[in-house]
Amino acid sequence: MTVIVRYVFRERLMHALSGLSYVYLLLTGLAFWTPALYWIAVVLGGGYLTRLLHPWVGLVFSAAVLWMYLTWRRDMRITPRLEVMQPPPKGTATFLLSKTVTSNGSRLSSGRTGVAASNSGKN
């Protein structure tokens, strides 16, 4: 039986950084795309500031996505399936809220089989 840590602080930080920068780029991009949505730029600091920050936040987003790829590329390999996916068993909510999971697979392998294995007592 192996204890698998789901996500450490560094991974949560890079995911939050990429998500927040994506939302900022989406909103400012919409504001620049049509005058009808320019009010979004006003809410985010005004036209001048959003036009100044948009390319820099784009670089932050690109760096965050590259950081995620470099961190997770080993874990994203395709591995052979050991068992067929099953419906989530009772106790799935408890599993989803926990910080660790016991499983024989990697932490990014077909997630629901990890739930089924950890809750069924097969390990």
Q: CA separation (Å) from 65 to 6, 29, 60, 107?
A: 19, 19, 9, 19
What is the pTM (predicted TM-score) of this model?
0.61
Are the CB atoms for 18 and 57 separated by under 8 Å? Answer: no
Same domain, 63 and 104: no
Q: How many domains does the chain have?
A: 2
Domain that includes residue 94, residue range: 82-123
* Domain end call among 49, 72, 95: 72
SS3 100: strand
Give strand pairing partners of 4: 101
Using one digit for the tens of pLDDT, what is the confidence trace for 99-109?
A: 555 555 555 55
Please indicate whether residue 20 or residue 73 has the higher confidence score (pLDDT).
20
Give the rounded distance of the alpha carbon of 73 from its chain centre: 14
Same domain, 116 and 94: yes
Same domain, 7 and 67: yes
Q: Would 21 be classed as within a structural domain? A: yes
* pLDDT number for residue 17: 96
Please indicate whether residue 63 or residue 114 has the higher confidence score (pLDDT).
63
How far is the C-alpha of 84 from the C-alpha of 113, rounded, in Å?
Answer: 8
How far is the C-alpha of 79 from the C-alpha of 31, rounded, in Å?
Answer: 43
Same domain, 53 and 95: no
Same domain, 26 and 61: yes
Same domain, 19 and 39: yes
* pLDDT number for residue 26: 97
Using one digit for the tens of pLDDT, what is the confidence trace for 5-54?
A: 778 899 999 999 999 999 999 999 999 999 999 999 999 999 999 999 99
Q: Would 77 be classed as within a structural domain? A: no
